[in-house]
Amino acid sequence: MSDRVRIIEMGPRDGLQNEKTSVSVEARVAFVEALVAAGLTTVEVGAFVSPKAIPQMANSDQVLRGVSHVKGAEFHVLVPNEKGYDAARAAGAGVVSVFAAASEGFSRANINCSIAESIERFKPVLARARADGVRVRGYVSCVLGCPFDGEISPKAVADLAKTLWDLGCYEISLGDTIGVGTPLKAKQMLRAVGAEIPAANLAMHFHDTYGQALANLYAGMEEGVRVIDSAAGGLGGCPYAPGATGNVATEDVVYMLEGMGIGTGVDMEKLLTATNEIAGLLGRPPVSRVAAAINAKSKRMASDQ
């Protein structure tokens, strides 16, 4: 397995959206700056959703404006409807992401509508984005299981992914929202979606609740997928996905890929600077195994001197 993988960094959005500690706009901007300095050239920086639903993402307009001076990176934001699109555009968004779910239970809990209704909400967003020259990424959540509806069929995932693709999304990110998947199931799901959409236009967004995310990513790479969503330090989770933990950690992904000779363009040392800074603000060490190992090694080396 050779070539390169593109990492979409989720730390400032998925990573912070479920945190009890509120993080200031300045700290969110500094986090994005540190991630870009580490070589992460695509970063999801916020969400234009209801601040009553997700107070952690309030002021995403200020964050997006705050990073506008950062060169060499592309910034993504979530938009659930036209209201979110308007606000995102007013703040200068050039790429937006709509988010649907492969299960009715999660769709209802997360965005307060059925899957079919969510598609109706996205249609005007995609039409306007096309006219505005804005690219739209599409998420499908619960691709390997739902906290409310249980098992999800690969066909249900493929059908919804195809709907978003046909509406004009340039890339479909497949979310194992609650991190329950295992490699063969991930492969089956990706094969079903891959029969509808080129693998080059798919991304894997795997949460690591059961510790399977790296294995699932490897399985997905064997199916030809080369875009990975991950969050610095393994931050993340969704308030509407009970029991779910963070995204697969960017450090763990980078360590695995670089070890396989696959380039990511990410500087591990600088990434750890970003991770440790935000972990300090949140008041707990990163859950990433690689971050823990490298931090412990640095501490040993410092005490040996």
The residues binding ligand HMG (CB under 6 A) are 14, 17, 47-50, 53-54, 78, 80-81, 83-84, 99, 110-113, 139, 141, 175, 177, 205, 207, 238
| 211 Ramachandran zone, left/alpha/beta (phi>0; psi -120 to 50) | left
The encoded tokens of residue 200 equal 């080059």
Cα separations in angstroms, 3 against 14, 257, 263: 27, 10, 7
- Distance separating alpha carbons of residues 34 and 44, to the nearest angstrom: 13
Least distance CB 99 / ligand HMG (angstroms): 4
User: Per DSSP, which regions of 48-148 are E strands?
Assistant: 74-78, 95-101, 135-141
Least distance CB 173 / ligand HMG (angstroms): 7
Stretch that binds Mg ion, among 7-15, 22-30, 86-94, 256-264 (CB under 5 A): 7-15
Pick 142 or 268: Cβ nearer ligand HMG:
142
Pick 211 or 263: Cβ nearer ligand HMG:
211
Least distance CB 154 / ligand HMG (angstroms): 16
Which partner in ligand HMG, Mg ion, none is near 31 (CB below 5 to 8 A by kind)?
A: none
Least distance CB 10 / Mg ion (angstroms): 7
The encoded tokens of residue 184 equal 């063969």
C-alpha dihedral over 141, 142, 143, 149, to 10 degrees? -140
Pick 178 or 268: Cβ nearer ligand HMG:
178
Distance of CA 175 to the CA centre of its chain: 8
Least distance CB 97 / ligand HMG (angstroms): 7
Which residues lie closer than 8 Å to 71 by C-beta, 6 or more apart?
none
Pick 235 or 294: Cβ nearer ligand HMG:
235
Which residue(s) pair with 205 in the sheet?
Answer: 175, 229
Pick 235 or 291: Cβ nearer Mg ion:
235
* Beta strands 42-47; 202-206: pairing state: unpaired
- Identify whether 238 is a catalytic site residue: yes
Least distance CB 181 / ligand HMG (angstroms): 11
C-alpha dihedral over 245, 278, 87, 20, to 10 degrees? 50
| Mask for 13-32, x = binds Mg ion (CB under 5 A) | -x------------------
Sign of the Cα torsion 173, 176, 98, 26 reads negative
Stretch that binds Mg ion, among 6-14, 163-171, 260-268, 269-277 (CB under 5 A): 6-14
Give the nearest residue (CB) to ligand HMG. Answer: 175
Which partner in Mg ion, ligand HMG, none is near 96 (CB below 5 to 8 A by kind)?
A: none
Given the residues 142, 146, 169, 238, select the one marked as catalytic.
238
Which partner in Mg ion, ligand HMG, none is near 53 (CB below 5 to 8 A by kind)?
A: ligand HMG
Query: How many residues bind Mg ion, per CB under 5 A?
Result: 1
Cα separations in angstroms, 250 against 50, 129, 187, 268, 281: 27, 29, 21, 9, 18
The residues of the shown chain that bind Mg ion, judged by CB under 5 A, are: 14
**Which residues does the annotation mark as catalytic?**
238
